[in-house]
Structure 1
Amino acid sequence: MKEKITGQSIQLFEKKGFSETSIQDIVDSLGVTKGTFYYYFSSKEELLMDIHLGYIDDLLVRQEEILHDQSKSFKEKIFDIVYMLISDIKTRGSAAKIFFREMQNLSADRRALIVPKRDQFRFNIEELIKGGMAVGEFRPNLNATILAFGILGITNWSYHWFNPDGISSDREVAEIFVEMILKGIQVY
């Protein structure tokens, strides 16, 4: 039931926004009582925190798997991370929108638990770029911090416009993005 509450809440938060969605809206949409909600969550904010943690923790685990794959080049790892983020839009796009849009509705204490995880995802991309620079896959004079922000800006904004059922597949969009990124940073 916890997963059902979370899933339904993500849909409602995406449609109406966190502030405009009440606990009553959530339980009514599931046909359960508030007691059921409070069995799993002490508050709507705790539910929002659970959504945030579930989203970022999953991304970090999958990013670490990509980063530790010794069989792939730095370029391939960048592609894998971009593709992971774009392909997630079909299954986790709503959770991503909640993550980016509703973080301000978390208390400062809860945000303090999320922001370092979000930053770690970016730092990992920075380190990947620096590693590629060190071995000569990427130009040595790049600003890895700005590039990491750029990669995340490109991919994260895609949650607003990319239609996984549209004319371009998630792989095609990832390939276009990575080609655009690498043409600017690979050694010629």
Structure 2
Amino acid sequence: MKHKIIETSISLFGQRGFKETSIQDIVDQLGLTKGTFYYYFKNKEEILVQIHEQFIDDLLEQQKRIMERDFSARDKLHALVTMMLRNIRTSVNSAMIFFREMRHLSEEKLAYVRKKRDLFQQNIEELVQEGIERGEFRKELRADMVSYMILGITNWSYFWYEPDGEVAEEQLADMYTTILLQGMEQRR
């Protein structure tokens, strides 16, 4: 039941927003009582925290698998961009909640989620730095700024990209990485 409450909350928060969705909306959607809700959760924020944790933990796990591959920094970067775009199709509501609803977390919970979000960014930064050190990317690049640029491009895609539209996620990932890599590659 706990999983069903979380899944229903993801759907409702994604459609209406966290603040606009009440506990009553969640239990009505499932045909439950508020007592059942409170058996599993103290409040709505607890669900929001779990949604954030599930989303970032899943991204970190996928990122880790990509980073562990014996690929060039260039190929890992392409795989990361593809993975982030694939998550739009597989987890669009969770992604929207992650980016849009963070402001509703308490300071303590926000600090916890930010640590994981920062780790995701730092891993990209390390990959870019590795590419610079291997001579794959230009020496004058700042790995931190490049990592933020990559996240900015991919994260904003959650707000406008339609995975079932004219452009497949692989095509969009190819476009993004081609543009990124052409600007980052070491000139020969």
TM-based fold match above 0.5: yes
Tell me the TM-score normalized by structure 1: 0.97
Map 1:22-171 onto structure 2 (within 5 A).
Answer: 22-70=22-70, 72-171=71-170
Give the aligned residue type for 1:177: Y
Q: 2: distance between equivalents of 1:149 and 1:18?
A: 26
Tell me the TM-score normalized by structure 2: 0.97
Measured against aligned partners, the alpha-carbon deviations of 1:103-132 in whole angstroms (never above 9, x if no partner) come to 010000111110010011001000000000
Per the TM alignment, residue 8 of structure 1 is displaced from its structure 2 partner at its CA by 1.0
Q: 1: distance between equivalents of 2:12 and 2:93?
A: 10
Give runs of ≥4 in structure 1 deviating > 3 Å.
none
Q: 2: distance between equivalents of 1:178 and 1:36?
A: 47
Q: Which moved more, 1:28-37 or 1:130-139?
A: 28-37
SS in 1 for 2:162: coil
Q: 1: distance between equivalents of 2:42 and 2:161?
A: 35
| Structure 1: runs of 5 or more not aligned | none
Q: 1: distance between equivalents of 2:167 and 2:2?
A: 34
| Structure 2: runs of 5 or more not aligned | none
Measured against aligned partners, the alpha-carbon deviations of 1:148-182 in whole angstroms (never above 9, x if no partner) come to 11000000000011111101101000000000100
Per the TM alignment, residue 39 of structure 1 is displaced from its structure 2 partner at its CA by 1.9
Per the TM alignment, residue 14 of structure 1 is displaced from its structure 2 partner at its CA by 1.5
Q: 2: distance between equivalents of 1:127 and 1:14?
A: 32
Q: 2: distance between equivalents of 1:179 and 1:41?
A: 45
CA RMSD of aligned residues (A): 0.8
Measured against aligned partners, the alpha-carbon deviations of 1:16-51 in whole angstroms (never above 9, x if no partner) come to 111111100000011111122112211100000000
Q: 2: distance between equivalents of 1:60 and 1:150?
A: 18
Which residue of 1 is the match for residue 8 of structure 2? 8
SS in 1 for 2:54: helix
Per the TM alignment, residue 94 of structure 1 is displaced from its structure 2 partner at its CA by 0.8
Q: 2: distance between equivalents of 1:73 and 1:106?
A: 38
Q: 2: distance between equivalents of 1:93 and 1:15?
A: 11
Q: 1: distance between equivalents of 2:129 and 2:63?
A: 16
